[in-house]
Every structure is written in C-alpha cells, then in structure tokens.
Amino acid sequence: MSTATHPAIEHCSTMTDVRRNIDALDERIVPLIAERSAYVAQAARIKQNADQIVDNARIEFIIDRVRSQARKAGAPEAIVEAAYRAMIAASIDFERDEFTRLRQEA
C-alpha cells in the first residue's frame, strides 16, 4: 500500500506524525467496533439457542467479503483477515456471555 494509491494518506516525516495519524484513525475505528458489538448483542437476544452462536458459513462469508474489500482498497489482505478473525472470535465470546446474561435475567 502506498500513499500514491491512497492520496488521503499524509506523508509522515516523523514517528510523531505516524502516531498522530494512527491515533486519529483509532478515534474513528473504536466507535465502529462499539456499533458492531451492539448488533452482536442483538444477535444474542434474537437467537433461540446457544448452538446458533457460531455460524462457520457466515464467518467464512465475512472473511471472503473483507478480503475482497481489502484488495479493492489496497490494504494488506492478511492483516484485514487476521483482524477480522480476532474480532469475530472476541465477538463470539461476547455473544455467548450476552446470551447467558439475557437468559439468566429472564
């Protein structure tokens, strides 16, 4: 990935510049993860049994889709896939906990 293919990417001369830009991206990414997690919580409410929490076909569909998006965006596919697999695994744990919590409250 180069700044030539991503004209919005600031050319950085120092690590301070790099870190400032990464921190600014994190300010945008974290709220999106929070939004995504809110939908995962809704899935825990909607699903009828714990066996529905892990959907391998859906996981692979998401991975294929984000790899394609990464390719189109000029992002390293391996990084995007690894990040999504980690996020999905953490989301599954979160959904299991939420599924259990909701049924204990009922």
70-80 pLDDT, tens digit per residue, is 999 999 999 99
Rounded to whole angstroms, the Cα distance separating 42 from 50 reads 14
CATH of 15-105, one of 1.10.287.3510, 3.40.50.970, 1.20.59.10, 2.60.40.1180: 1.20.59.10
pTM of the model: 0.89
75-94 pLDDT, tens digit per residue, is 999 999 999 999 999 999 99
Nearest to 5 by CA among 80, 72, 69: 72
pLDDT of residue 4: 46
Average pLDDT of every residue of the chain: 94
Q: What is the mean pLDDT of residues 47-65?
A: 98
Confidence class of residue 106 from pLDDT cuts 50, 70 and 90? confident
